[in-house]
Amino acid sequence: MSAMLIDGKALSARFREEIATDAQSFEKRTGRKIGLAVILVGEDPASQVYVRNKVKACEQTGVASYGYYLPKESTTEDVLELVNALNEDEKVDGLLVQLPLPKHIDEKRVLSAVSPLKDVDGFHAVNAGNLLLGNECLSACTPSGIMELIATTGVDLCGKNAVVIGRSNIVGKPVALMLLSKNATVTVCHSRTQNLKEITRNADVLVVAIGKKEFVTGDMIKPGAVVIDVGMNRDEGKLYGDVNFAEAKEVASYITPVPGGVGPMTITMLLKNTVKAANFGQK
Ligand code: NAP
């Protein structure tokens, strides 16, 4: 058996067409473009690539992007001052601070300073809390993208066993809540989980977000499972997932490739959140 590929690139392209249409009609209605502000502190090369990709995605969809590049010596107060100014700036609908911040900057204080109405990354406690409560909110982008990818398989999550490996605030926890909201029976595993294989072999849907190259092997997967690989592990210039793709594709029914699975959807969901935030502003 060979699993069907869940094509994140193709889904992302479809979504970006819709986003471009929404951005155009917003501009017609209001006389201005939807705007996304991105703050990057320092010169971390990976972060520079992520920011460049976000700016490029904005250009493709007709969203205005405003990049703010602060030197690595900036203080927490410097970043807070900029965040506060952008919170008040009417041309800015979405605001994100690229992580990781340099170690001397208080990340928690900075993230809590972003207005929840502009928090297009969905990292603010208000948005995380609203996700928990099942309220309308700006939800974290990677988990939202994962849910859209699962939806393309047509698999009904109601009553299914969903297992998430990883419990980070940006992927594992929010995706577990989203799966729960679709009535899956959810198990969250982490580095202290015992008998991991026993648990994962019972998963109808397996989401893997741990950051360890090819950690999940074929024998850990239930035959016919839907496997979502969030991992992005670079090794000698090549990108690897957290799942051993060659083995997993022989057991799973559907699987996301790395690259070309979850990755492209993350920025797309960021743009979708920016459109949503712009429309909050119009209410
Ligand atoms: P993270 O904050 O480092 O969290 C990793 C999680 O994996 C932790 O909860 C950790 O458990 C768990 N873990 C580590 N080793 C484990 C093991 N041996 N068995 C079971 N669980 C284990 O990572 P993250 O930010 O969620 O990211 C995870 C991966 O996804 C990374 O490769 C990252 O690059 C990738 N990612 C991709 C995208 C995308 O757009 N494609 C977006 C975000 C992240 P403890 O909590 O017990 O330490």
Within this chain, do residues 146 and 110 fall inside the same structural domain, yes or no?
A: no
CATH code assigned at 49: 3.40.50.10860
**% of the chain with per-residue pLDDT over 70:** 99
Average pLDDT, the chain: 97
State how many domains the chain has.
2
Query: Which of 144, 170, 191 best tests ligand 1's pocket when mutated (most atoms within 8 Å of CB)?
Result: 191
Domain span including residue 82: 31-116
pLDDT tens sequence across 181-237: 999 999 999 999 999 999 999 999 999 999 999 999 999 999 999 999 999 999 999
Q: Is the CB of 235 under 6 A from ligand 1?
A: no
Within this chain, do residues 68 and 161 fall inside the same structural domain, yes or no?
A: no
| Banded model confidence at residue 1, pLDDT cuts 50, 70, 90 | low
Identify whether 131 is part of a domain. no
Residue 73's SS3 state is coil
The dihedral of CA 135, 138, 142, 147: what is its sign? positive
pLDDT tens sequence across 198-209: 999 999 999 999
Identify whether 135 is part of a domain. no
Within this chain, do residues 160 and 241 fall inside the same structural domain, yes or no?
A: yes
Within this chain, do residues 104 and 162 fall inside the same structural domain, yes or no?
A: no
For the ranges 43-47, 82-86, 109-113, 210-214, the lowest mean pLDDT is seen at 43-47
CATH code assigned at 206: 3.40.50.720
Within this chain, do residues 148 and 105 fall inside the same structural domain, yes or no?
A: no
Within this chain, do residues 184 and 256 fall inside the same structural domain, yes or no?
A: yes
Within this chain, do residues 100 and 183 fall inside the same structural domain, yes or no?
A: no
Identify whether 125 is part of a domain. no
> Helix H segments across 124-261?
125-133, 141-152, 172-181, 196-200, 245-248
Within this chain, do residues 110 and 145 fall inside the same structural domain, yes or no?
A: no
**% of the chain with per-residue pLDDT over 90:** 98
Cα 146 to averaged position of ligand 1 atoms, centre (Å): 15
**Atom 41 in ligand 1: which residue has the minimum CA distance?**
263
pLDDT tens sequence across 242-278: 999 999 999 999 999 999 999 999 999 999 999 999 9
Query: Which of 6, 9, 228, 232 best tests ligand 1's pocket when mutated (most atoms within 8 Å of CB)?
Result: 232
Q: Is the CB of 98 under 6 A from ligand 1?
A: no
pLDDT of residue 280: 87
Q: Is the CB of 25 under 6 A from ligand 1?
A: no
Q: What pTM does this model have?
A: 0.97
Identify whether 16 is part of a domain. no
Cα 234 to averaged position of ligand 1 atoms, centre (Å): 14
